[in-house]
Structure 1
Amino acid sequence: MTPPVYVLRHGQTEWNAQHRIQGRLDSPLTRLGRAQAQQQREILSARDLRDFQVICSPQGRAFHTASIALEGLARAIHTDRRLSEIAVGEWEGLRRNALGADQPMDESEESALDLYERAPGGEGFAALHARCAEFLADLRRPSVLVTHGITSRMLRLIILGKDISEIGMLPGGQGVVYHLEDGEMNRLSIGA
């Protein structure tokens, strides 16, 4: 069984605002993204994190978010490449609406989940699932995990014992924190 975890997605980046697929590439946090990380800090500051370790994706946008969200709350931020975002091969850096979709789609991340699965030269959901399952199997202590949109969903999917096909049913979001313990997930946000 996975120890208790808090899962955070990085704050909005310049490429998020432009509806670009980042994958393993990076772009800086926007002003809104930094504010979202501060909201996560407010949420976490109300929690007892004394026994929690912090593990973060090594990608810049996640590490910057972690440094804001956990300022004064954690002694150290450790990185683990297994928390990196899903690789999307040839589509990294492209705008979602430039991928030749046969039908119009909205610009929400949820509408684009299929793109992450079928990106040419990309990692795909099965490989991401294996990477996240390996990470969680090695997790021995309560942890705060700072990661990315698709990787966050996959981690939570595995902890909740759901099938890969259900990834689109899990909520996303920036500026929120997901608490998972004993097979239950709670979405924590400011004012909720």
Structure 2
Amino acid sequence: MIYLLRHGETVWNSLGRFQGQKDSSLTKRGIEQADQAAKLLKKEIAGGEQSFQLYVSPLGRTQETAARVKRILPLATQLEPRLMEVTTGSWDGMTKFEIDNEFPGMLDGSDAFDWYFKSPDGESFDAACVRAKDWISGISGPTVAISHGLFGRLVRGVYSGLSKREMLELPVPQDGFYRLCYREFRLVSASSDMISSLSAW
């Protein structure tokens, strides 16, 4: 059982900058999202907190999110470098507009989903997937993980055996998280929780 969270909204998220392995702080909205995710997670694992280990990407935005989660769920925590965001090398911290201007032609033929892997000095798709597989294969018990948008897509895709395109087109919400179990994943959010409650009537 894995609960996979993405960090809350950051300043650079709101500006359209791809952070990669650089960082920016959570916005007020991002803090609210982290708090909301923590409340949902507490409800999901009620009574079983002691059996869960929390693994957190060492980047600042994930650690900020983890601190908010731990205010509500005091889980045993370990930093996990394999959960860091995919890096686009010298493009980290830039917008697509800036990349297109400073590296003319490099984004030719790319779209909204695959441009991350066009960087001349960034992490490759295959290397990032190997990292995701390596982390998943080492999980031995109930797990909560706080990672990132793009890498979270790859974790879910590798876990469920999706194609590259299917992985890259996965949604990356910041107001919920994913429950990974039996090679499938399901979004847990305030809206999905409300639907489940209504279905029970």
For the pair shown, the structure with the greater C-alpha radius of gyration is: 2
8 Å contact from structure 2 (residues 154, 168) kept in 1: no
Partner of 1:189: 189
Partner of 1:45: 42
8 Å contact from structure 1 (residues 22, 93) kept in 2: yes
Partner of 1:135: 135
Q: How does 1:13-28 map to 2 (within 5 A)?
A: 13-28=10-25
8 Å contact from structure 1 (residues 54, 74) kept in 2: no
8 Å contact from structure 1 (residues 91, 120) kept in 2: no
Partner of 2:196: none
CA distance in structure 2 between the aligned counterparts of 1:13 and 1:162, rounded to whole angstroms: 28
Partner of 2:96: 96
Evaluate the alpha carbon distance shift between residue 161 and residue 74 of structure 1 in structure 2; reply closer, same or farther with a 3 A threshold: farther
* TM-score where L is the length of structure 1: 0.89
Q: How does 1:11-160 map to 2 (within 5 A)?
A: 11-48=8-45, 49-100=49-100, 112-160=112-160
3-state SS of the aligned residue for 2:146?
Answer: strand
Which segments of 5 or more consecutive residues in structure 1 lack a partner in the other structure? 103-110
Q: How many residues align?
A: 181
Shift of 1:177: 0.9
CA RMSD of aligned residues (A): 1.5
8 Å contact from structure 2 (residues 176, 187) kept in 1: yes
CA distance in structure 2 between the aligned counterparts of 1:30 and 1:178, rounded to whole angstroms: 22
Identity over aligned pairs, percent: 33
Which segments of 5 or more consecutive residues in structure 2 lack a partner in the other structure? 106-110, 193-201
- The AA in structure 2 aligned to 1:40 is A
CA distance in structure 2 between the aligned counterparts of 1:76 and 1:172, rounded to whole angstroms: 25
Which structure has more relative contact order (CA 8 Å, sep 6+)? It is 1
* TM-score where L is the length of structure 2: 0.85
3-state SS of the aligned residue for 2:185?
Answer: strand
CA distance in structure 2 between the aligned counterparts of 1:30 and 1:84, rounded to whole angstroms: 20
CA distance in structure 2 between the aligned counterparts of 1:76 and 1:52, rounded to whole angstroms: 7
8 Å contact from structure 2 (residues 52, 76) kept in 1: no
